[in-house]
Chains A and B, each alone.
Chain A
């Protein structure tokens, strides 16, 4: 479970990038975080993961505060950043082993997971090559695999579908569903509205740092025009604010 309690953050004095954000992502839930460019999505994700400190408020991951007990909180999530160009001089397998060592994944479990996930995402045969020789999509797949190695309860993903081919995108969505079925949490930001529409149990829309909607897609439709597509709704909401 991810609890964001009245969190605010500003980079420039007087201008809040995230303004009094209050949000709870329950266990067993896929939550889509939507918003136009510069709305505060990445800032929020960076605060959840401990990259940025909130000016006000508190963030809890399975009850552990990211600011007060960061080590405990960081063990509770796996994070896929928006840029998959990580440590490109390492070989794929070296990167996975490194991450497994960081999260102290035992040898037999890591072997099983790496083989299973790498085969599923069809990069098993490339694990011996340096990440530098990977395409954007392959790098994205590698990062996703690395995040799943320690089987974290909470997945936090920043634009995870970018660069993935339809098959890999489908597989990732399947994994997300599977993960939440077991009572875990998925929190991800996206620009692809259809993904949010078809995949998410609930969506949140943020604009200029403020959360302007939280709820199911149905509720969103109810609240706004009944027959409009989510895209139109999305534009309507963000423009009216």
Chain B
């Protein structure tokens, strides 16, 4: 038991609490971080609160408020399922701590329990954010007693166990196959793609196509309850959880809760017994690609010399694309988001599109919309903001090779700019198709301005990484996920979009040619300023790297 607690603490520290250090110097930073996190939590919780309030009110009018509990718990379960798949993959397989833990006199089940504890703790954070306020609102609207709130907290502690277990099991089964595949990195990327594809498909199917009236909404919710009833048969903890909350005032509430607790414990124990072997088989060496040695004897053209910039760029690209974690976190959003964007437009509400079609009369506004969407997508590429940090301890390499630092910085910015071309073209293409607006000037201007924004974004975010590099990490996952610098990407995106909206508002009636040329001149000037900054500072840019 002591081992489990100890391991849980260690895993928790290395995975989540890594950034939180207790030194005095860090306190101010931590407060800033904590404030940021609290604001985001309040914002998200408020959105869910508002959404649930509308549902509860509607259902309460027809005395069906209790349907809300089943629906919301089912949504919670789905949320946990999706989130736990991603986090369990990282926690169980991509973190390298397992190889340090295995030689210690610790039983496999203890490692497993400790890892699962960490997963569960992170899930609780999401669950409480998603569910606590809606349940409080439900309690207030239905005038529930104090016991309801107590049960709510208990349910929220016990209920997430099984969905999290299901995700872990899915990931473990998937990963246990990876030893059969020759290229583990590729397999990890493909399995991640499959999971994301699944989520997108679910999203398409659940997309709400039409504006619904209140009656239709209630009808839909009642129908959805049919879904809950159907799933209850398979998802055996859903019913006892809902029953506990409905009958909180009577003895059957206690019975239902006992049932929920018992089922969860039994399945938990079964999971631990069954998955011990499955886990260790897949986990050991999951982060290592075990390939047979490959000779270059029969390969031709391997010794061709390249220009420094092209060789540097090739190295950066290989390091990005061959590393599943960097690929998924830094590159993938750039390819994935345009697809989601397209789905929203094709399958989603038509009203937004109609609005846009009306605007199509004004090319400047359409241009601003295209630039705005592209800016948002560009800011989802986390290549430059991690360009220095990704090198970790190798970052000092930049300092002792005979290539000027400012040039190396530019080479490191290139992958982000090149990759951003994919979503830029995609978005412009979709807009032309949807609006049936094939204006060559619009296409050229949108492309050029988006590209200039992408260059500026890449330059500015690499400065952030130069000023605050995260070089001491033990898992590559930490470079992106536990890196507060990402907030600057969002800040850039928000600032740019506000400027674009202002341009759209103020200069909306101005000629597209003039707006585009002014934007191009201003952006080029800004890019030149940052370039000059790189050139003047040169070796001082890497002062943080020792």
A residues in contact (CB < 8 Å) with B: 46, 49-53, 70-72, 74-75, 79, 81, 83, 85-87, 89-91, 93-94, 97-98, 100-107, 110-111, 114, 124-130, 132-133
Distance in Å: Cβ of A90 to nearest Cβ of chain B = 6
- For residue B401, which residues in chain A have a CB less than 8 angstroms away from its CB? 74, 102-103
Q: Are A71 and B402 in contact (CB under 8 A)?
A: yes
Extra A-B contacts (12), CB below 8 Å, given A51-B399, A79-B400, A133-B288: A49-B400, A53-B539, A86-B397, A89-B323, A98-B314, A102-B311, A102-B402, A103-B401, A106-B305, A114-B303, A127-B295, A127-B296
Given known A52-B546, A97-B311, A98-B311, contact A103–B303 (CB-CB < 8 A): no
| Known A46-B546, A83-B393, A114-B303; contact A125-B402, beta-carbon cutoff 8 A | no
Pairs A-B, 5 closest by C-beta atoms? A128-B294, A101-B311, A74-B402, A49-B400, A89-B322
Q: Could you name 7 residue pairs across A and B whose Cβ atoms are closer than 8 Å?
A: A46-B546, A51-B396, A70-B539, A89-B318, A104-B305, A130-B322, A133-B290
- State how many residues of chain B have any CB contact under 8 Å with chain A: 40
Please, which residues of chain A bring their CB within 8 A of the CB of B302? 93, 97
Contact call B402/A100, Cβ cutoff below 8 A: no
Q: A50 contacts which of B294, B307, B400 (Cβ < 8 Å)?
A: B400
The smallest C-beta distance from B118 to any residue of chain A, in angstroms, reads 27
Q: How far is the CA of A124 from the CA of B400 in the complex (A)?
A: 26
Q: Which among A46, A51, A101, A124 is the interface contact of B306 at CB below 8 angstroms?
A: A101
- The complex places the Cα of A75 from the Cα of B403 at a distance, in Å, of 9
Residue B308, interface by CB 8 Å:
yes
Interfacial chain A residues near B304, Cβ < 8 Å: 97, 107
Partner of B305, one of A105, A126, A132: A105
Which B residues lie within 8 Å of A51 (CB)? 396, 399-400, 545-546
A86 vs B450: C-alpha distance when bound (angstroms): 35
A93 touches B296 (CB 8 A): yes
Contact B315–A133 (Cβ < 8 Å): no
A90 to B539 CA separation, bound complex (whole angstroms): 26
B305 and A101 contact, CB distance less than 8 A: yes
In the bound assembly, the distance between CA atoms of A70 and B308 in angstroms comes to: 18
Closest residue to B399 on the A side, CB-wise? A51
- Across the interface, B295 reaches (CB within 8 A) one of A53, A104, A124, namely A124
A90 and B319 in contact, given A130-B291, A132-B288 (Cβ under 8 angstroms): yes
Structural contact, A110 and B319, CB atoms closer than 8 A: no
B-to-A contact residues, CB < 8 Å: 288-297, 299, 302-308, 310-312, 314-315, 318-319, 322-323, 393-394, 396-397, 399-404, 539, 545-546
Residues of B within 8 A of A124 (CB): 295-296
Q: How far is the CA of A52 from the CA of B403 in the complex (A)?
A: 16
Point out the residue from A70, A104, A107, A125 that lies within 8 Å of B293, measured CB to CB. Answer: A125
Closest-by-CB residue of A relative to B540 is: A53
Given contacts A101-B305, A101-B307, A106-B305, contact A130 B296 (CB under 8 A): no
CA distance A100 to B311 in the complex (A): 10
In the bound complex, residues from chain B placing their C-beta under 8 Å from that of A105 are: 305
Establish whether residues B299 and A128, one from each chain, have CB atoms under 8 Å apart when the complex forms: yes
Min CB gap B323→A, angstroms = 5
Decide: B319 and A87 in contact? CB cutoff 8 A.
yes
**CB pair B305 A129 closer than 8 Å:** no
8 Å CB contact of A86 from B295, B303, B394, B404: B394
A201 to chain B, nearest CB (A): 25
Report the nearest B residue to A138, measured CB to CB. Answer: B293
Q: Indicate which residue in B303, B393, B396, B545 contacts A107 across the interface (CB closer than 8 Å).
A: B303
Closest to B403 in A: A102
User: What are the residues of chain A within 8 A of B314 when measuring CB–CB?
Assistant: 94, 98
Question: Can you name the residue of chain B whose Cβ is closest to the Cβ of A78?
Answer: B400
* CB of A89 to closest CB in B, whole Å: 4
Taking the closest CB of chain A, its distance from the CB of B381, in whole angstroms, is: 19
User: Using Cβ atoms and an 8 Å threshold, which residues of chain B touch A125?
Assistant: 293, 295, 297
> A110 to chain B: which residues have CB within 8 Å?
303, 305
Q: Give bound CA distance, A93 to B293, whole Å.
A: 12
CA distance A173 to B297 in the complex (A): 28
Question: What separation, in Å, do the CA atoms of A226 and B268 have in the docked complex?
Answer: 71
- Alpha-carbon gap, A79 to B319, bound state (A): 22
Q: In the complex, what residue of chain B is closest to A11 when comparing beta carbons?
A: B546
A87 CB to closest chain B CB (Å) equals 6
| Cα distance, A40 to B268, chains bound together (Å) | 54
In the complex formed, the residue of A with least CB distance to B299 is: A128
CA distance A99 to B303 in the complex (A): 12
> In the assembled complex, which residues on chain B have CB atoms less than 8 Å from the CB atom of A52?
546
